[in-house]
Chains A and B, each alone.
Chain A
């Protein structure tokens, strides 16, 4: 998308955008001229380009699994660690998002998971640095900096460390601005897959942005009520509140997945399992519906069935009719989206409940 916008790819997204299914001629030629593929010559072949561009996201996918394993080991035992890693790695949601769609968010997701690991290992400043790196790549990890600082405060950490953490976190944010602002306000006011500022700072002129207001109010409430070091609940509830306020789109639920894996593996009771399963199922379904069955520009669904062109098989026609019907557009999609929202809300309530009565380990 960024390539198609006419600007050269910016910042760290050089090697990761656009998603490979978007193979217009101009995109492909740009891809081939990038440093990573330039040495392959003038015609490296689609398979090679595809492999090269998927390798980084696959690497971060694996790395996230490893980090989650260590989180599990740290919090309970290697059994839970393995479970966490697998909940992430074998999850159809992350498989689809990362390997098939090529969501580069996995880089930030990895850094966020790393930040969490460092936090529970009592390495708060390094944890903030990981978040800062994450924010440098994509904005959303910066939302976790305030809860991290609250955690440090509640945990009784020295003020100097707190200031250092705030500084390194803010540094990442400045870095983010450093590669966004040279293009003026374009990437600040236009929602793109890379620059997600819009839902946070944008809005209708002369009105209070509900997202900004909601997040600030949430941080204040967090500061007032959380009196115990509960990093998982603090991180999870922050991201959940952001989802509830900003509706960033079902694919971005991938940000939540590692923390969700930790919560399910270590603290999962029956109701939580049900809530999380329902949340993922409805989010996936919503994603399927809003993206017209994951339709790509080639006319194929990412689920490997054709949706465009002549002489379609009958099942493709049936799916097409179903997706085009009023039933989907004005009944099923609102119902599914609302169900996703409701389960996010229920899960957020579960997390906020823990602020008031929780075991010390959380």
Chain B
């Protein structure tokens, strides 16, 4: 261990302290309020003796259900419980609510660190590299902003997804299938990775285990759908309610009515993996390219930085595995941080409209470069 890395524990505890302080001091805003409202509605439904229905809560139902117990704890705390719409910041009620609703973020943030340590150590057999991965995730200002300022609850499915990566590395395909699908049910992105993971299952038993593991949470979800009296028509009509789902399809190619950029890019990447990649590639690279392709294919809303959070831990693992290419990682994170929808300084920029396209394009270019680089590293002819 050399340089700053030998003090990694001190750094970790220091950043932990900073994050806890942020939880206490930062006001509730951004997506926090939406999630808190969602969790409160789910709690009301459950306390009313019913199961939350997909028709009411849409695709956010999974994460909101996970958050509901934290909201319930707040409701039994000996503090005032004002209406959420009229919550005054920095009052005991607001601070206690912030602490409770941000606790899952902190827990899953730390879980992500642990999983990154495990995954990179498994691949590289190097403690130093695993620490690089963990620290580039945990000390990363982009992640800090998205999680503790903005309140991106994506960290929950992301940690579950990393668990799937870990299981995949261990060859435990049943658990990998379960985790991938659970992550996908919480936030759809993990489904884009599914065929890439499937390509790693080389034997019939592993394929079977992976498929069986995937079916299990799906069957469970179908059962819940049935019990909550949702119908298939409800499921069919979700896209009308969740417009952001469509943004992930990307723009129309060559003016064709139904051919959209995002699925073409992801499937094109799948073809490149099958045709040109080395057989001994690892699951982290596969997960990275699939999610990067998805992130590149999506139009501005879908491709915005919030969803880049999914790629961020994987790129931390990638940079740890190839430290010599750190500059691509650094530039990608920098442009992600400067991207128009995230940049904390954006509102103070003199002419936002001038910089808008420039910053968005820079971020897009860095994502494309990273995708290209990952492909080059894994080509059969590459050393």
Residues of A at under 8 Å CB distance from B? 210, 245, 247, 271, 274-275, 286, 290, 321-322, 325-328, 330-331, 333-339, 341-343, 345-346, 349-350
Contact = CB atoms under 8 A, between A and B. Distances in A.
Given A327-B235, A327-B236, A338 B271 contact: no
Contacts of A338: 249, 258-264, 267
21 contacts: A247-B256, A286-B258, A325-B233, A325-B236, A326-B237, A326-B238, A326-B239, A326-B240, A327-B236, A327-B239, A330-B239, A335-B260, A337-B258, A338-B260, A338-B262, A338-B263, A338-B267, A341-B253, A342-B267, A342-B271, A349-B275
Interface of B: 232-233, 235-240, 245-246, 249, 253-264, 267-268, 271, 274-275
A331 B258 contact: no
A342 B264 contact: yes
B237 to A, nearest CB: 5
A314 to B, nearest CB: 13
Contacts of B274: 271, 274
A3 to B, nearest CB: 27
B237 A275 contact: no
Identify the interface centre among A274, A331, A334, A338: most chain B CB within 10 Å of its CB: A338
A325 B245 CA distance: 15
A326 B236 contact: yes
A321 B233 contact: yes
A328 B236 contact: yes
Given A331-B246, A346-B268, A339 B237 contact: no
A20 B248 CA distance: 41
A331 to B, nearest CB: 5
Contacts of B262: 338
B8 to A, nearest CB: 43
B233 A331 contact: no
Nearest to B255: A210
A334 B252 CA distance: 9
A94 to B, nearest CB: 23
Contacts of B236: 321-322, 325-328
Contact of A245 (B246, B254, B264, B268): B254
A334 B271 contact: no
A271 B259 CA distance: 23
Contacts of B256: 247, 337, 341
Contacts of A210: 254-255
Contact of B245 (A331, A341, A349): A331
Nearest to B271: A346
